[in-house]
Amino acid sequence: MLYQTIDILGTVAFAISGVLVAMEKRLDLFGVLIIAFVTAIGGGTLRDLLIGNTPVGWMQDLTYVITIFISVVFAIIFVNKLKYLRKSLFLFDTIGIGLYTMVGVEKGLAAELLPIMCIFLGTMTACFGGVIRDILCNEIPVIFRKEIYATACILGGASYFLLIQLPIKETYAYIAAILVVIALRLVAVKFDVRLPNIYSSKD
């Protein structure tokens, strides 16, 4: 139940982030819907294909498609309430990567993958939808910039495997790992923590 709830919440967060980017680019209604859709299911689709879970999740359960449609309608109706689109996008995107990282880790564990592969799968689940969104909207994907993004997913996924070694419930470790991803991303942006620059200043 927890896993499915987290998955749905991640779908909502990423669908709304897709709507915000699409509306900022002033796409038409169909364009907004497509961007929301690929943002929400892109990472999960790649994940399921890699582990041989076909048909992929959203094709087996109409709940995800309905959730995306409802999220799109909600975001469009209340877009004026989200006065600062960039801040709203950042918030929903950050929540999305936190939730989807652990959804991917859980899928990896169910497929009996090694912990390191589960972390990679979680990171891919969290980041790939955003990559598609940004490419379609003619933006350099956040994951390819200097910002702490995929790194937060990797560290959050790793924290889960450390936490389950402690005498605490696995559910608490799961939730804590999600919060680790979100917290790392928030702190990195708040204090402008970035990955090292490999280019000289004159470049």
Predicted local distance difference test score (pLDDT) of residue 79:
83
User: pLDDT at position 84, please?
Assistant: 66
Buried-state track 37-64, b at ≥16 Cβ within 10 A, e below 16: bbbbbbbbbbbbebbeeeeebbeeeeeb
Residue 73 lies in a domain: yes
Nearest residue to 147 via CA among 190, 92, 102: 190
Residue type, 69: F
User: Is residue 200 situated within a structural domain?
Assistant: no
Residue 126 lies inside a defined structural domain of this protein: yes
Residue 95 located in a structural domain? yes
Domain that holds residue 21: 2-140
How high is the pLDDT of residue 107? 96
- Dist. CA 141–CA 40, nearest whole Å: 15
* Domain contains 159: no
CA 186, CA 164: separation in Å to the nearest integer? Answer: 24
- What pTM was computed for the model? 0.92
Residue 146 maps to a domain: no
22 falls within a domain:
yes
Q: CB within 8 A of 83, min separation 6: which ones? A: none
Is 153 inside a domain boundary? no
Tens of pLDDT along the chain (203 residues)? Answer: 788 899 999 999 999 999 999 999 999 999 999 999 999 999 999 999 999 999 999 999 999 999 999 999 999 998 887 656 668 889 999 999 999 999 999 999 999 999 999 999 999 999 999 999 999 999 999 888 877 999 999 999 999 999 999 999 999 999 999 999 999 999 998 998 888 877 765 55
- Distance in angstroms (rounded) separating the CA atoms of residues 174 and 161: 9
Structural domain total, the chain: 1
Please give the single-letter amino acid code of residue 177. Answer: A
